[in-house]
Structure 1
Amino acid sequence: MADEDIEVEGGEGEGKSGKLKIILLIVGVLVLLGAAVGGTVFYMQSTMQAPATEVAGEGAVEAEKVYDDDREKAIYHKLRPEFIVTFDANNRQRYVQMEVTLVTRDPETVALLANHNPLIRNALVLLFAQQDYLELQTPEGKENLKKQARDKVNELLMNEAEKETIEAVLFTNFVMQ
C-alpha cells in the first residue's frame, strides 16, 4: 500500500515537471521570436536610412534648408469630375477621358480654384474640344495640351484674381477611344 502511494505521488511530480518544461520551452521560443523580430526591425530601419545619408552626406541638410526657405510645398488640386470630350476623327466619333490635376504652391489659389471651378472647367472643355485627336496620341501632343491648359487656367486666374500661380497641369488619367 505504501508503495502504491509513493508511485502515485511520483507520477504527479513527473507531470508537474513535464508541464514546467513545456512552459519554459514556450517562453524560450517566444523570447527568441521577439529577439528575431526586434533585430529585423532594427536592421531594416538602419539599412533604409543609411543610403540616403551616405549618398547625400551633409548636402542633405543644406538641400532641405534651401527647399524650406525658397519654395513652399506643392499643392495638388484635382478637378472633379473627369473631363470627357468627343472628337470627330476621320468621320468617326472618338472620345477622350482625362483626369486633370493642377499644381500650385499658393494655398490661396486652391480657394480660388474651388470658387471658379465652373469657369475653369468650361474653358478647359472648350480647349480640349479644339484639339486634333491624332495629335493627342503623341507624347508631344499631350505635353502641348498640358501647357495650353496651364496657360488658360493662369489667364482665367489673372482676370479674376490677378494671380498666375498654376505651375503645371497633370493628366493623372488619359484614355483615348
Structure 2
Amino acid sequence: MKAWIVLLMALCLPLMVQASEEEEDAEKAPAPVVAYVTLAPALVGNFGDGPKLKFFKADLSLRVTGVDVEAKIKHHEPLIRNQLVMLFSQQTEEAMAAAGSREVLRAEALKQVQDVITQEEGQPLVEDLLFNNLIIQ
C-alpha cells in the first residue's frame, strides 16, 4: 500500500512543479501599458451655418494599450485630425449647445477615429476618446 502512495506521489510531483512554473511565468509577464495620446496642438475650426461664424477648440486624448499601438496612432495622427476636424465642422449650433451634446459628440468622434484606424490597420486600436477641453464660441 505504501509503495502505491509513493509511486502516485512520484508521478504527480512533475505536474505540480509544472503548474507552479506556469503561475510564476504568468506573474512575471508585464501588464500591457495604457497610454494616452494627446492630439497636439488642439483642433481649431469653425462650425455651423449662418451669418455669424462659430468656432471650436478641442483638446483631445486617445486611450490605447501598448507601446506599439501608441506608435501606430501617432503615425496616423494627421488622418485622425482631419477626420475629427471634418466631424466638428459639420455640427450645428443647436447640436453643440444641446444638453448632453458633448457626450454624443465624443461617442461619434470615437466611432469615426476607430473606423479610420480600422481601415488603415485592420482593427480599431483606440479604446476611448477623451475631451481634455472643448471650447465653443
User: TM-score, normalised on structure 2?
Assistant: 0.70
For the 8 Å contact 1:78–1:101, the answer to whether it is kept is: yes
SS at match of 1:123: helix
Cα distance in 2 for partners of 1:111, 1:91 equals 42
Shift of 1:90: 4.7
Query: For 1:1-177, what aligned pairs fall within 5 Å after superposition?
Result: 72-177=32-137
Q: Percent identity?
A: 26
Q: Who is 2:4 aligned against? A: none
Describe the shift of the 1:173–1:129 C-alpha distance in structure 2 as closer, same or farther (beyond 3 A): same
How big is the shift at 1:74?
A: 2.8
Unpaired runs of at least 5, structure 1: 1-68
For 2:116, what is the secondary structure of its paired residue? helix
1:98: Cα distance to partner? 0.7
Shift of 1:154: 0.9
* Distance in 2 separating the partners of 1:93 and 1:117: 27
Q: From the two aligned structures, give the one with the greater helix fraction.
A: 1
Can you give the 5+ residue segments of structure 2 that lack an aligned partner in the other structure?
1-28
Structure with bigger gyration radius: 1
Q: Report what 2:12 is aligned to.
A: none
1:78-109 CA distance string (max 9 Å, x none): 00110112023553111111101111123222
TM (norm. structure 1) is 0.56
